[in-house]
Structure 1
């Protein structure tokens, strides 16, 4: 079975959804908005893209994100693409400016210097190698996946205007947990999904199943909205924890409706977590939970879905000398219950996820890969080593979380996609 790799940006169930007002304060941070794969729109007044766009642009990060290598290709009459411009654009710490050097297909070289006067606007003044001003280029970022460029001559007359839409590749099947952009989804789910699809995300996992739907949309409506954004709706976190784990009527009633709603939406798996584990005092209670999860997993399997248990840190507490997580792994049926290892919470709990992958091979079809803020920034979690154990773990969906932010959430999830795509999935 083909491995589906899922990046999930996910805040844990108990966190408040109130978010601070983050910003991109430095020139270096603002320049990173321009990283990625881009294509030109049909015309600058629309964000619609033709089947064969006129221009394709690749803008890749170098040297600890201080510079971008940019290559621009143009389509000919038979839809073949040829290079027309290549340059390096970087942030110069000494002058706190953006500097560029490049050449076109005719061999004309140029340099450029400029800055971001605001988060959304960027101006570069190009010069030839004799030091003469040639063209000024204004960049206007509509959002993190949409930018309008305009070239102006020395008299400020417009020479050309192009609009680029981010079009990062989806070949590594990276997904996102929408709780990472919860505020944005509540405000404008359609436009938020469109940006996520452009960033390179292949599918989404939700956290807001309520009243039989998602973000005030029916299952079929939300599925259509996700697919319109170029993604799939593959996973959903759901929560139901009956007081009586032997109340089969209540269990079947809630889960059967939940399963049918999610089947209409086309999901592949349902996941759950449990905030009450720290209150468990006996092995008997642990066994009741194991029995309950087996029942739910069996219902899911009978309906063509997978059921996945997601951990936080409480799972590594002990009950009567037994680690809760180990007990659940040992006492749930592998045919019915899979596990979604959250590597961040494992690190918080003081355990190494690799040890679990080795001890319980093929049980972890899903991972949550999360750092203390943006992915890969803390240096506390050895993600590259963890990613060596995908096959042993049995992973099909790799999910990454951003629990806290240094930047605006939509910018941060773009950085997370880049880290997974370029650094972890070789």
Structure 2
């Protein structure tokens, strides 16, 4: 009788999962609003802030992550974004700024009306990220993240690939995550840099679940060399769907764990050519 009950329960679970899949079939796999990372347009701002924002709007981006380009105040820039129907949920900070004065970082974030601030780089000797570097970051992230939370802001660390140096029976990335307070320190996965450093994006999304709050979406040229420097040439950043990464798997797992913000970041030197290809690829993906 007990085995029969277990069997019936499994059948019910199977049928329920099939119903969910049937309901989702045909829905876009990209569930979050289309977002853009400011670094993508690093070569365009010199042509004019309004002109660059017009390009961003015309491409269909609804969210922007980054700081204020030179030549505008936070108030002016925020208005220019709002006038184009673009929100700014997230901005960035340098490591030393967070270390020196997290309250000043909080004030800059609040001036933009953002709810998240990310740090994308921990100081270290190239290719030699160490436990001492990780320990310094753990202290800065826990202490700075607490100040930011007290100001209504969520801090997130942007994974850059060099953190996957082996440590004991795991990696320094795992050491970093497990020694930061989840109340104060969340994570942003740059899927290409994670892959570049030897991490498995889908497996890591599953392992750390709701510690992840956003993604940087980019793809890596097939067969290009990888290492743990967190640095590679712009020619290795290719349109989404043309490289080595399992973008459908990443999006599917991101949806499952509830990630709400995904930003395309194109670090190539052909961003205006590549971005429409990446957007079209994302729009083509369905359950």
Decide: shared fold, TM above 0.5. yes
1:341-373 residue CA offsets vs partner (Å, 9 max, x unmatched): 111112222221111122212111111121131
Q: For 1:398 and 1:422, locate their aligned partners in 2 and report how far apart those are by CA, in whole Å.
A: 16
Given the alignment of the two structures, is residue 347 of structure 1 paired with residue 195 of structure 2, yes or no?
A: yes
Task: Report the 3-state secondary structure (helix = DSSP H, G, I; strand = E; otherwise coil) of the residue aligned with 1:402.
Answer: coil
Cα 1:240–1:287 shift into 2, 3 Å: closer
Q: Give the corresponding residue for 2:279.
A: 417
Shift in Å, 1:219: 0.9
Cα 1:337–1:392 shift into 2, 3 Å: farther
What aligned pairs does 1:178-193 form with structure 2 within 5 A after superposition?
178-193=38-53
Q: Give the corresponding residue for 1:138.
A: none
Q: Give the corresponding residue for 1:237.
A: 92
Residue among 242, 249, 268 paired with 1:377: 242
Q: Give the corresponding residue for 2:3.
A: none
What aligned pairs does 1:265-304 form with structure 2 within 5 A after superposition?
265-277=112-124, 278-282=127-131, 285-304=133-152
Q: For 2:274 and 2:258, locate their aligned partners in 1 and report how far apart those are by CA, in whole Å.
A: 28
1:164-184 residue CA offsets vs partner (Å, 9 max, x unmatched): xxxxxx995111012112111
Shift in Å, 1:255: 2.3
Q: For 2:63 and 2:255, locate their aligned partners in 1 and report how far apart those are by CA, in whole Å.
A: 21
What aligned pairs does 1:326-341 form with structure 2 within 5 A after superposition?
326-341=174-189
Q: Give the corresponding residue for 2:62.
A: 202
Shift in Å, 1:311: 1.2
Q: Give the corresponding residue for 2:267.
A: 403
Q: For 2:192 and 2:114, locate their aligned partners in 1 and report how far apart those are by CA, in whole Å.
A: 25
TM-score after normalising by structure 1: 0.52
Residue among 209, 223, 243 paired with 2:78: 223
Q: Which has the higher strand share?
A: 1
Q: For 1:186 and 1:177, locate their aligned partners in 2 and report how far apart those are by CA, in whole Å.
A: 17
Say if 2:62 and 2:85, in contact at 8 Å, map to a contact too.
yes
Say if 1:174 and 1:201, in contact at 8 Å, map to a contact too.
yes
5+ residue gaps in structure 2? 1-29, 221-237
Say if 1:365 and 1:393, in contact at 8 Å, map to a contact too.
no
Q: Give the corresponding residue for 1:67.
A: none
What aligned pairs does 1:159-174 form with structure 2 within 5 A after superposition?
172-174=32-34
Q: Which has the higher helix share?
A: 2
Q: For 1:174 and 1:348, locate their aligned partners in 2 and report how far apart those are by CA, in whole Å.
A: 24
How large is the Cα RMSD of the aligned pairs?
2.4
Q: For 1:272 and 1:365, locate their aligned partners in 2 and report how far apart those are by CA, in whole Å.
A: 13
Say if 2:129 and 2:165, in contact at 8 Å, map to a contact too.
no
**Larger RCO, structure (CA 8 Å, separation 6 or more):** 2
Given the alignment of the two structures, is residue 309 of structure 1 paired with residue 161 of structure 2, yes or no?
A: no
Cα 1:401–1:354 shift into 2, 3 Å: same
Shift in Å, 1:412: 2.2
Q: For 2:31 and 2:158, locate their aligned partners in 1 and report how far apart those are by CA, in whole Å.
A: 26
Cα 1:172–1:389 shift into 2, 3 Å: closer
Say if 1:280 and 1:319, in contact at 8 Å, map to a contact too.
no
Cα 1:215–1:416 shift into 2, 3 Å: farther
Q: For 1:422 and 1:286, locate their aligned partners in 2 and report how far apart those are by CA, in whole Å.
A: 39
Say if 2:122 and 2:133, in contact at 8 Å, map to a contact too.
no
Q: For 1:171 and 1:322, locate their aligned partners in 2 and report how far apart those are by CA, in whole Å.
A: 32
Cα 1:356–1:420 shift into 2, 3 Å: same
Q: For 1:299 and 1:186, locate their aligned partners in 2 and report how far apart those are by CA, in whole Å.
A: 34
Cα 1:254–1:186 shift into 2, 3 Å: farther
Q: Give the corresponding residue for 1:359.
A: 207
Task: Report the 3-state secondary structure (helix = DSSP H, G, I; strand = E; otherwise coil) of the residue aligned with 1:333.
Answer: coil
Q: For 2:77 and 2:44, locate their aligned partners in 1 and report how far apart those are by CA, in whole Å.
A: 15
Shift in Å, 1:237: 2.0
Task: Report the 3-state secondary structure (helix = DSSP H, G, I; strand = E; otherwise coil) of the residue aligned with 2:156.
Answer: strand
TM-score after normalising by structure 2: 0.75
